[in-house]
Structures are given as C-alpha cells and as structure tokens.
Amino acid sequence: MPTITIDPKMFINEPYITCPKCGKEAFGVLSIHARHYVRRCRECRHDASYNLPPVSRKVIYLDQFAISEMMKSINPTLKKIEKVDPFFRKLFEKLDILNKLQAVICPESTNHFDESFVSQFYPALKRIYQQLAHNFSFYDPDTIKRFQILEDFNSWAGFKSTPIDIGDVLMGTGDLEGWDDRFIISVSLRDQDPNLADELRKTRDQTSDMLIQVFNRWQTEKGKTFSGWYEEERLSYGKSLVQSYLDSLLEYDKLVSGKIPLTLNSIGNITSNISVIMSVIHRKLREKGLSDEEGMKKSIEYLTSESLKNIPYVQISSMLFASLAREASLGRKKPPTKGMMNDIETIACYAPYCDAMFIDKECRRLLNQGITETGYKPHMSIFSRDNKDEFLEYLDAIEKSLSKKHLKKIKEVYGEKWLTPYTDMFSKEII
C-alpha cells in the first residue's frame, strides 16, 4: 500500500522574512485568519501572530452570462472554437486582482449553480464563479424574500424591526470585513444528483412558459400605463402569498387524511417558503396574546395590506415586470428569454445589498426604465455590455482608492506573486 508523507513545512508559504528566533530567512506564512495571520519558521518552528486591520469590500453581482464569457476567455480549449470579446478576459483579470486585494467580492448564488449545472462546461463555470466569490455566497432568493417580509411585518405589527444589511444575506466561511485565506472551500451535495439537470431545465421551461403567457396578455393591453402595471404587480404579491398559503394548507389536509401519498413533492408543498413565513408570524402573534384564529385573521390582514408594496423585492421585480409589460403593449414581438424569470428574481433579491451589478443588456434597460418611471433610488451602480467601459473605470477607481498602507500589508501577508491574475487555471485541465 502506498504511503503519503506530510511534511509540516508544506503548509508554510512565502513571503519569507528573517526569523526573530533563529535568524534565518525562513519565517513564512502558516495561516491567514479574518483578523490576524500566523508566521512559522521552516527551520526552528517558531510561531508568531500578527494583527490585521478590517477591510472594506465592494459587493458586486455578476450575471451568469459574464461568468460564462470570462470562463471562455481564459479556457485554452474553448478559446480555439468560440470567439469571445477581449473585454471579458480583462474583466476577469481586474476582478481577480481586486478580489485578492480584499477590495471586491462577487458572491456566488443559486442562480449561478442552476444555470451552470445544466451546461456541459459546469466544472469550469463553477471554478470561475467560486474563484471570484472566494467563500462568499448569497442566500437563495426565497430566504431573502422571507427576511424582507418578516422585517416588514415586524414594522407593520409594531414589533422591534432591524434593517437587513449585506451581512444578513451572505452565508459561507467568509467574513466581509475579514481577510481571506488562500484556500477556497468547495462542497456541493447537489452536484451528485443525476436527475437534477433535467429537473432544473423542466422548472426553467415551466416558469418561462408562464411568463410568455402573461407576455401575450400584455400585448393586448394597449390602454394601460406603466404606473398601472407597476401598481398591479406590487399589489398582486401579497395576494399570491395568501393563495400559496391556502394551497399549502389544503395539501396538508389531504396528506394527513390519506387522500394523497407522502412524497418529497408533497412535503415540499407543505413546508414551502410561505408556510415558514406564516409559522413565524403566528408565533409572534401568539406571544402578543392573540389566539390562533385571531392570528390567522391578522396575518391575512397583513398580507393583503399595502405594506408589502414597499419591500425591496416587490418594488424592483414590479419595475422589471412593468417595463416588460409596457414594451409588449407597444408592439414588442420577441418574447422573454427562458432565463428572464430567473434574472428578474435574482436582480430583485440581490440588488438592495450590492454596490454594483453587471447584468445583461435587456435587464439593465428594463431596470433603468423602471427607475426613471418610479423615481426609485437604487443603492447600486448598474452595468452591462452597453456600458462595459464604465464598469472597468468603476473597478479601476476601486483599486486607486486603496491606500499604500493597505497595499503594503497585502504584500506582507500574501507575497509579490499573489496579485498575478489566475488566467492559467485551466491550462492543465481538460474542460
């Protein structure tokens, strides 16, 4: 049986400095933590810990098409068969450097996984978005919507309400104000599901078909205004939640009475996002002294009130849908793409917590139309291929804003070679 010998020196990395104990140039970096890093001598094993100052990162969301184009731009196998705009190689290089400078993070999302997993290039796409995410990931859209609804409910019902910030919607091993280790942790049990790709395609096709049906209806609504569609979308959200909840109660009744079998699908229906939301709301109302019947009435009152109109997800998604509806009514023939529903969901959920988003041209156009019509003041800067040079300038400005002290600390911790863009990640792999 072969043996593997692990030398502790393997875990000590450059840059090396003079060891304060033995005097040799062997005092390297053993580990990097959020607020400190540890050096160890390769010769005498002397250890020492050094504090690190907090960092300030810009959070940038990258649409799946940007992930795909960046992957192609540095993948030797695909560069030979696919023409890629040189912009995307430059974009990857800038983002990779800014990520290593602890200045930018591009969190991964369920949308990245879902869109990548159905591709034949899934391993390569995953490698790219995890390189730039570096252990940061957004919660899934349902979870973020739940956070927003419960925050809004707390305000509406008079409970203590704490505003949601970026730290609340990110998960993973990263610390937004902490320094990154050199290593990226990648674990996904979903990768092992042999039927998942087909299920993802089926779900995408179903949601796309529903949107196209609505799009066809919009084409006939010639007399409506943007504000009419916008208000209709905002008011319909709460009603759709009520209907979803009633459907889940009906499913539960059928399940416990034996009318339907216990399956993963039926369990999913009765443990849906709205079921979790209502469970939390009812618990809070019971703590306030309301009976179950009173709590049900109060929760339905909330969901059918106008309060939900103002949560970020509802405002942004309604702007996008209203812009699409107006284009349809004005004669647009081309239906939405299959990924449009996912794009709207992603933008509406993540935009309030990003400093910038790089999205496709159509979504940027629809979003800007909505912002103009409603006067909504977005928290983030919005980029696409239509203003790609402005995006590079935005990234350049971030790098220029970094202090000499910060840049010196980067070299102290990671070494001179750290800031070399990782454009050869696929050079030894067949993708």
- The per-residue pLDDT for range 355-368, each reduced to its tens digit, is 999 999 999 999 99
* Residue 413 in this model has a pLDDT that exceeds 70: yes
- The confidence score (pLDDT) of residue 257 equals 72
Contact between 198 and 322 (Cβ < 8 Å): no
- The confidence score (pLDDT) of residue 431 equals 46
Confidence of residue 137 (pLDDT cuts 50, 70, 90): very high
> How much is the pTM?
0.90
256 or 340: which carries more pLDDT confidence? 340
Helices (H), 171-287: 196-220, 226-256, 264-270, 273-287
- The confidence score (pLDDT) of residue 428 equals 63
266 or 7: which carries more pLDDT confidence? 7
∠ Cα 230 304 299 (to 5°): 145
Q: CA 367, CA 334: separation in Å to the nearest integer?
A: 18
- The confidence score (pLDDT) of residue 261 equals 72
* Residue 100 in this model has a pLDDT that exceeds 90: yes
Q: In 100-133, which positions are buried (b, 16+ CB within 10 angstroms) versus exposed (e)?
A: bbbbbbbbbbbbbbbbbbeeebbebbbbbbbbbb
Average pLDDT of the segment spanning 243-248: 84
Confidence of residue 427 (pLDDT cuts 50, 70, 90): confident
* Residue 127 in this model has a pLDDT that exceeds 80: yes
Q: CA 157, CA 338: separation in Å to the nearest integer?
A: 39
- The confidence score (pLDDT) of residue 162 equals 87
- The per-residue pLDDT for range 194-213, each reduced to its tens digit, is 777 788 888 888 888 899 99
Q: CA 346, CA 111: separation in Å to the nearest integer?
A: 7
183 or 422: which carries more pLDDT confidence? 422
Sheet holding 27-32, edge to edge: 13-17, 27-32, 36-41, 47-51
397 or 121: which carries more pLDDT confidence? 397
* Residue 70 in this model has a pLDDT that exceeds 90: yes
- The confidence score (pLDDT) of residue 430 equals 43
- The confidence score (pLDDT) of residue 48 equals 97
* Residue 264 in this model has a pLDDT that exceeds 60: no
7 or 300: which carries more pLDDT confidence? 300
- The per-residue pLDDT for range 74-86, each reduced to its tens digit, is 998 876 666 889 9
Q: DSSP character for 108?
A: B
- The per-residue pLDDT for range 296-330, each reduced to its tens digit, is 999 999 999 999 999 999 999 999 999 999 999 99
User: What spatial distance separates the first Cα and last Cα of the chain, rounded to whole Å?
Assistant: 32
Q: For residue 16, what are the contacts with CB-CB under 8 A and spacing of at least 6?
A: 25, 26, 27, 28, 42
- The per-residue pLDDT for range 26-62, each reduced to its tens digit, is 999 999 999 999 999 999 999 999 999 999 999 999 9
Q: DSSP character for 249?
A: H
Q: Tell me the pLDDT of the chain averaged across its residues.
A: 89
- The per-residue pLDDT for range 141-181, each reduced to its tens digit, is 999 999 999 999 999 999 988 899 999 999 876 788 999 98
